[in-house]
Amino acid sequence: MLVYDFIRWWYGPGWCGVGRSLQRRLHGLADTFSVGILLRTLFAPWRRIISYPGAGIGDHLRALGDNLVSRCIGFVVRLFVLVAAAVSSVLLLLAGLIQLLTWPVLPLAALGCLVWGIF
């Protein structure tokens, strides 16, 4: 009964749990890297460092230039983090998929190694 219960769990809720765990970790990673927020504010000025235009056309142009630089800095920083998040997600996904695929063969592999090693 013990072995039956184990096999039933391993190939049922246990295997599904590995998939759910991967899903949770991917979600957590996206949250840690603020993916949603960074995508929404991708072109926003960096830390709101902006210039307010004066009265003349020159002031307007200077403010426009300053703000463009701030937005560029913001874009670069956010893009860098988004790329880091994407790379981390891919690595996590790969590791998760490997775990997901090896999970069902693990009991058989364990038995196989033991038997093969002894005999």
Partner 1 sequence: MPEFELDLASGRARRARYGRRLGAVGYGWLLALALICIIVAISLRLTGHGSHWLSLLGAGLLLYLPAAWWRYDLRDVQPGPSSTITDRLAGSVLRQLDRRTAYTPRSLWGAIQRDWQVQSLCHHLLLTPDMLMPILSDNPADLAIVWEAASQLSPDRSRPLEAGAVAAALILTVPTIGAVLASLNLSERDVLAVAAWLDRDLTVMHRPQQSFGGIGRDWANGFTPRLNQFGHNLSLAIEHHHAHFGSLVDSPGVQAMKAAFQQGTNALALIGPNGIGKTSHAYALAQNLLIGSSNPQQQHRQVIALDASAIIASAQRPGQLEYLLTTLLNEAVHAGNITLFFDDAQLFFQSGPGSLDLTQILLPILQARNVRSIFALSPHDYQQLKATNANFAGLLTPIVLQEPPADKTLEIIADTASNLEGRHQLLITYEAIKETYALSGRYELDMAYPGKAIRLLEQALSHAEQRVVTARSVQAAIEQTTGVKAGTAAPVEADQLLHLEDQIHERMINQVRAVGVVASALRRARAGVSNPNRPIGSFLFLGPTGVGKTELAKAVAATYFGDEASLIRLDMSEYQQESDVARLLSGGEHETSSLILKVRQQPFSVVLLDEIEKAHPNILNLMLQLLDEGQLTDLQGRRVSFKDAVVIATSNAGADQIRQRIEQGQRLEDFETELTDQLISSGQFRPELLNRFDEIVLFRPLTPDELGQVVRLMLTGINQTLAAQNISVALTDAAVATIVQVGNDPRLGARPMRRALQRAVENTVANKILRGEIQPGSQLTLDASDLQPPQ
Residue ranges that bind partner 1, judged by CB under 8 A: 1-2, 5-6, 8-10, 13-14, 17, 28, 31-38, 40-41, 44-49, 74, 77-78, 81, 106-107, 109-118
Give least dist CB 60 to partner 1, A.
20
Give least dist CB 42 to partner 1, A.
10
Contact 56, 45 (CB under 8 A): no
Task: State the residue for tokens 């560029």.
Answer: 72
CA distances from 115 to 50, 88, 112 (A): 70, 38, 5
Give least dist CB 116 to partner 1, A.
6
Nearest residue (CB) to partner 1, 58 versus 87: 87
Nearest residue (CB) to partner 1, 98 versus 113: 113
**84 vs 6: CA distance, rounded Å:** 39
Q: How many CB atoms lie within 10 A of CB 11?
A: 13
Contact 103, 17 (CB under 8 A): no
Nearest residue (CB) to partner 1, 24 versus 58: 24
Give least dist CB 76 to partner 1, A.
12
